[in-house]
Structure 1
Amino acid sequence: MCYTSTNVDTQLMRPKEDELKLAGSRRVSAPERGGQPLAGQLQMLEFSTMNSSADLLEYAGGFQVLKEEELKVALPVVLGVICLVGLAGNTLVAAVLLHDFRQGKSSVVNGLILVLSATDLLVLLCCVPLRAVTYSKPSWSFGWLLCKSSDYFLQACLTAKSFTLAAVGHARYRHVANPKKYVHFKCQRVMALTCSICSLALLLPIPHWLFSTTKRSGRSTSCVLDIPASAANFMRAFGVAYPLAAYGVPVALTMTCYAKALLRSQPGSNRVPHRRHEARRSTVMLCGLSVAFAAMRLPDWVAWTWARQRESGAPVPPTALLVLAQVVVFANCALDPLVLLAVSQDIRDGLRKVWALASRGRARGSEDGQPGGEPAARKGTAPSLSTISARDDLGIFRELAHSIPPDIQHFWQDRKNAALTENNDPIPWECQENS
């Protein structure tokens, strides 16, 4: 790169042979000594250093140098669709599971799936809109605090999701291995496990918070991961340990648990075929969620490891890989509730119940809100929920009637068929005295 002098007298520029060797085939020209003020030389040196090391900067808040105008429009639209679908699906799944908790029909696996849906909601609400805006703008415009916390929060949520799926796999294996012992739901166990997962997930990606900062170049600002030279060795070790702790070990544990659960649910002589089929189907569905997460998270880990383990001057991860990896990770948050709603019969049945309760609530509210009207109970019209309870009671009474012994039924039938003699005598005591 050639720089011109700012002096009034124009001076010729001549190449330096030692810089030519360091730059390879690229020719670099520099001003002569004394031909330029010291401040101008320092400014040019700083600018040259920034351009020569620009490939070493890693964007922490999303890729911010998209040159294609079509991508700047298409990516926010795609992320918006993912966000809407994921919010609707995860909200429905969370509503169904919360309704089951209130009815006392839950399990440890359902409690962990609720934690999984809550994690997906956090990613879709806090991370996806920020990345969509980042893709559409050429520079970072959200300030220093969001720069430090955006990538850290995303990594913490994804790590928590990885640990939660491992806990789901372990709980499913325990349920298949000993269903009578592990079927009882304990809220304290799920809460303690959730707190442990969140604490570990918040601790592991702390270096993302420490080294994320804003860099200003001219009029544009970028959110980058700026690693100082003193922390280079630490980040190289972190680049190996963090993927293993947050991805490799949980995925391996999850796959092992599901493999053992599927082997334990093989056909046996002392098991009911229908129940065994349902248990195996649920295990396969949960295993599919873990496999989908592992496969859709893999491109992001490839780009993450590539950027941290490459040598200086080595090729950087391509833009297409970085953008595709982030979009696929966000798409996984919308895929999980769709799989649960499509495959799980319990989730679909619970969704029908929640929808029925919501419809009754709206109908009752419309009846209570009529002008000059009275609530249905005051008019003598029982609410729909009471009607359902009365029908259930009627069926119970019929079952009790059929269970009465025959001799007792014959006794009460005789008393019922016996004709009552009318006694209209105004002085019955005289008849008793004469007799």
Structure 2
Amino acid sequence: QQAALNSTFVSFDGGIQQLEGEDTRIIVPAILSTISGFGIGGNVLVLVVLIYAYVMLANLSATDLMILSVCAPLRTVTYYKRTWTLGLLACRTTEWIQHSCLAVKAFTLLATSQARHNVSSHPEEQSNFRQKNVVITLIIIWTVALVFPVPDTVFSRLKEEGNISLCVSELTSHSQDAMRVFSKMLPLGIYVLPIILSAVCHIRTIFLIKPSSHEESFLARQYENSLMYLSIITVNTLMMLPEWVSWVWMRHSSGESCKPPVGLLIFAQVCIYLSSAFFPAILLTMHVTLRESLSDLCSLLACRRDKHRLKLEGNGNEMHAVVMKVLDERGCVTIIERHSDASCQTLPDLEHFWSERRNTTVAEDIDPLPWERMNQSNIEL
């Protein structure tokens, strides 16, 4: 009780509480819900298409999915209720979960950037991450990311004021030094340093790429991927900047009058979820493989729908001729022939490679079905 009396308020956790005005109670939850809905749909689609061939991008998408499906709804409830109604455990872990997810994104981008730089620096020793190395890297990333923000659980506490509960970060006389160190180490460790190192790796990769006749396609793909990753890093940097500025400001302000404005705090939290929602849009814009995969998926689904509809209208040789004519007009007869109802186990994101694959041996570095060689294959970043 004495410690509680000597504690100093630092910030609200899990969303700003005790806001005044009906507009903030309705508008902010509506904005967060809309962002979460679009972001969850996009990241699920990206995750389904890329989970086998692009594991690190899939990990980024899974992390954004977790942010949008766990952290954003929790803050939506808080803004609507204006008080904390989710209990002690959620209060203790809300900031820790969000900071852990942000750390996973930063460390994944850093690991991928370093790996791609190594490949471009030594094209004669061209090798992608093997499956075992990817698994080990992801385990290390998630372990460090979960441990780094653990002090968040120490500073967060559930505070009772009359008949309402508030989730806050408070500073006691015994934790001042720890808070001072943590408030500097966290933004440096999961924001500033990973961004700088990742950007440097991709910029160096772009300048290291020197096209040659036998490696032109590979280096062109490396160049495009480096630009894509730089775009992801740039968007994350700009979107996370308000959050970390306000976070450091709250912990280094000398008095209540020096605290950041409420508008900045709300804007910073909205930007975090916008960053996660923009990730699928960036991939669709700059990742050629993803666009082609989604296009083939849509074509295959449309062909199957037309085939099923026409079969319901009649049968016999005449109807078969009508079906094939309609499908031929849509340009998808070959897709249907290769994917009959009885043998439709191949994912549709690689159909345009199949005609070459039937009669030739595909090199390992361009194999469109990498999961067929999981035990000995390399996984592209």
Shift of 1:64: 0.9
Q: Report which stretch shifted further, 174-183 or 381-390.
A: 381-390
Segment drifting more, 319-328 vs 345-354: 345-354
User: CA separation of 1:366/1:202 partners in 2, compared to 1, >3 Å: closer, same or farther?
Assistant: farther
Conserved? CA contact 2:25–2:82, under 8 Å = no
Q: Measured at CA, do residues 215 and 365 of structure 1 come closer, stay the same or move farther in structure 2, by a change above 3 Å?
A: farther
CA contact under 8 A between 1:213 and 1:223: conserved in structure 2?
Answer: yes
1:249 aligns with 2:199: no
Give the 3 Å change call, closer, same or farther, for CA 46–289 of structure 1 in structure 2. Answer: closer
Q: How does 1:271-350 map to 2 (within 5 A)?
A: 276-312=219-255, 315-350=258-293
Give identity over the alignment, percent: 28
Q: Deviation per CA, 1:255-278, whole angstroms, max 9, x where unpaired?
A: 11011111112x556577666544
- The counterpart of 1:236, out of the listed 180, 191, 210, is 180
Distance apart, 1:70 and its partner CA? 1.3
**Structure 2 counterpart of 1:255, one-letter code:** A
Structure 1 counterpart of 2:241, which letter?
A: L
Q: Is the 8 A contact 1:169 1:287 kept in 2?
A: no
Q: Distance in 2 between matches of 1:252 and 1:282?
A: 18
SS in 2 for 1:122: helix
Structure 2 counterpart of 1:125, from 39, 63, 69: 69
* Structure 2 residue aligned with 1:71: 24
Q: Which runs of 5+ in 2 are unaligned?
A: 317-322, 325-332, 341-353, 361-381
- Between 141-150 and 349-358, report the one with greater CA deviation: 349-358
Residue 282 of structure 2 aligns to a residue whose secondary structure is: helix
User: Match of 1:139, SS?
Assistant: coil
The secondary structure found in structure 2 opposite 1:229 is coil
| Cα deviation, residue 280, structure 1 | 2.0
Q: Which of 169, 176, 181 does residue 120 from structure 2 map onto?
A: 176
- Pick closer, same or farther for the CA change 1:346–1:147 going to 2, 3 Å: same
* Equivalent residue in structure 1 for 2:46, among 73, 78, 93: 93
1:205 to 134, 137, 149: 149
Q: Please give the root-mean-square deviation of Cα atoms over the aligned residues, in Å.
A: 3.5
CA distance in 2: counterparts of 1:82 and 1:91, whole angstroms: 14
Distance 1:362 1:313, change over 3 A: same
Alignment of 1:375-390 (within 5 A): 387-388=337-338
The question of 1:150 aligning with 2:94 is answered: yes
- Gap change, CA 1:193 and 1:392, over 3 Å in 2: closer
Q: 2:348 — aligned with what?
A: none
Cα distance change on mapping 1:365 and 1:315 into 2, 3 Å = same
2: CA distance, partners of 1:182 / 1:354? 31
Distance 1:95 1:365 in 2: 25
* Residues 157 and 201 in structure 1, CA contact (< 8 A), matched pair in contact too: yes
> What's the offset of the Cα at 1:57?
3.9
Looking at structure 1, the residues matched to 128 and 301 of structure 2 have their Cα atoms a distance apart, in angstroms, of 28
Corresponding position of 2:107: 163
Deviations 1:379-429 (A, max 9, x none): xx9996672389949x959xxxxxxxxxxxxxxxxxxxxxxxxxxxxxxxx
CA deviation vs aligned residue, 1:135-156 (integer Å, no higher than 9, x gap): 1122111111111111110111
Question: What is the TM-score when the length of structure 2 is the normalising length?
Answer: 0.77
Deviating more after overlay: 356-365 vs 127-136: 356-365
Give the total of aligned pairs.
332
Task: Check the 8 A contact 2:91/2:156 in 1, yes or no.
Answer: yes
- The amino acid of 2:296's aligned partner reads K
Cα distance, 1:326 vs. partner? 0.7
Higher relative contact order (CA 8 A, sep 6+): 2
- CA shift, 1:203, in A, is 0.4
Secondary structure of the structure 1 residue equivalent to 2:254 = coil
* Distance in structure 2 (CA, Å) of the matches to 1:244 and 1:328: 19
Residue 217 (structure 2) pairs with residue 264 (structure 1)? no
Larger radius of gyration: 1
For the residues of structure 1 that align with 2:226 and 2:88, how far apart are their CA atoms? 44
